A and B are shown apart, each in its own frame.
Chain A
Amino acid sequence: MTILEIAEALKAEVLVKGEGLDRPIKNVVSSDLMSDVLVVDDDDILLLTSLASDQVLRTAQIVGALGVVVVNGKPLPSSMVNVANDLHMTLMTCKLAKYQANIAVYEALKQNG
């Protein structure tokens, strides 16, 4: 599944379309602790988080994530959109709580094999 297909499954609003939109998501990391994200070795991951800060995007860029989903319908600081544009990182928000978002992504990935 590509990141935009997952966005659809989450009914997420895509704020920035970055690079790698055609690449399949290989793993999903769900965390509010960036230290945890930094120990993930998988490629082409999607990061689900309820933390709305620029550092989320910088962390995602460092580990080579394809995009970031901020859950809980949190309003994002405008700087996040700017940073996402600078880093060519896909950024979206969804209204689901993190737990529900995790389930929705899991179900979507399962259905798509």
Chain B
Amino acid sequence: MSEQPQAAPGDKPANSFSTTSHGMSPDDSEPLVLLELIQRMKVRDVMTTDLTKVPRSATMHEIQELMRKNKISGVPVEENGRFFGLVSIDDIIRALSGGYINDSCSEHMTTKLVVLEDDMPLSFALRYFERYHYGRFPVINRDQRLVGIICQRDINRTLLRELSREFNRLESKAKGVDADTASGIYVYREFPICKYDFERAGKASNQIKKLLQERNIAPKIIRRIAVAAYELEINLCVHSDGGVLTWEIVNGKSEIIARDAGPGIEDVEWACRDGTSTANEWIRSLGFGAGMGLANVKRVSDSFEIYSRKGSGTTVKSQINIAEAQQKQV
């Protein structure tokens, strides 16, 4: 596999970029259904094709506005079908802090790119995300034209859609098993959360709240669970490199687990205090990052646990005893 290419910043088109060699296989430990799915599906089945593109003359500020308006985190730079590079949220943040937000993007766009081909199996894309830790990959066709962008969110969304039938089957099975539990309810949901994906942040918690309302749980208990889920979802979105929020009701207890693979928290005790945050100005401008999230999760939870290590991942667990709280209210 070749490490990438490289167009000189701003001048050479990026459609001379090479892609990595074929021949990788997915991890043998993957479940069979998933394995079959990621081998069968192609990058083109998953990628986003409705792209917002800019010419090289666009300023970083114009792109920032485009990202804000369209709620996207990466904008390809393309002219007459020739792909020159990509401007990401990270590039914008660097431009803001470096004071060159009004410069043209040709000077500051990322040109050292790894690209995927649209007819590659999805398993290749997964390997690339694992290997390069990039938020997204441009996708080109055989004519070296940019045809789409793929991010982990696209993959997660597609895989979740395909796997939903399997989840439903398991859920129905579990319902029968747990019919005599304290609340008589069994629910399991898993939500992938992407870094800086403010377009979707909060949707998982909104869905959790809706599911609780459908099950006639007392509003005050719903609020506690929804607040815990929302704070953890926002945390995954703004502080982690992306992760998964899982929610389960079993034996009358709601358990939310937010798990990510990095970057980890150096001082967990400090992070759980009210008013402490590592959020940047951009996150604060969106109304978050006041450093009250973890403390608030702890406040609404009956049981709160957090495990983290700098350079590694973080896992936060919030448990709320629905059956007990319902009984107290009666």
Contacts and interface: CB of A to CB of B under 8 A. Distances in A.
A and B associate: yes
Interface of A: 32-36, 38-39, 41, 43, 49, 51, 53-56, 58-59, 61-64, 77, 79, 87
Dominant SS among interface residues on chain B: helix
Contacts, number: 70
A20 B307 CA distance: 40
Contacts of A62: 202, 205-206, 209, 223, 226-227, 230
B201 interface: yes
B76 interface: no
B290 A33 contact: yes
Interface residues of B, number: 27
Contact of A61 (B209, B291, B293): B209
B227 A63 contact: yes
Interface stretch (B132-140, B173-181, B281-289): B281-289
A63 B227 CA distance: 7
Contact of B219 (A34, A38, A43, A51): A43
A58 B233 CA distance: 12
B296 interface: yes
Q: Which of A53, A55, A79 has the largest count of B CB atoms less than 10 A from its CB?
A: A55
Contacts of A49: 287
Interface in B217-236: 219, 222-223, 226-227, 230-231
Contacts of A77: 69
Contact of A58 (B71, B203, B223, B296): B203
Interface in B242-289: 286-289
B299 to A, nearest CB: 7
Given A38-B296, A39-B296, A53 B209 contact: no
26 contacts: A33-B288, A33-B290, A35-B287, A35-B290, A35-B292, A38-B227, A38-B231, A41-B223, A51-B286, A53-B287, A54-B199, A54-B202, A55-B201, A55-B288, A58-B205, A58-B206, A61-B209, A62-B202, A62-B205, A62-B209, A62-B223, A63-B223, A64-B219, A64-B222, A77-B69, A87-B206
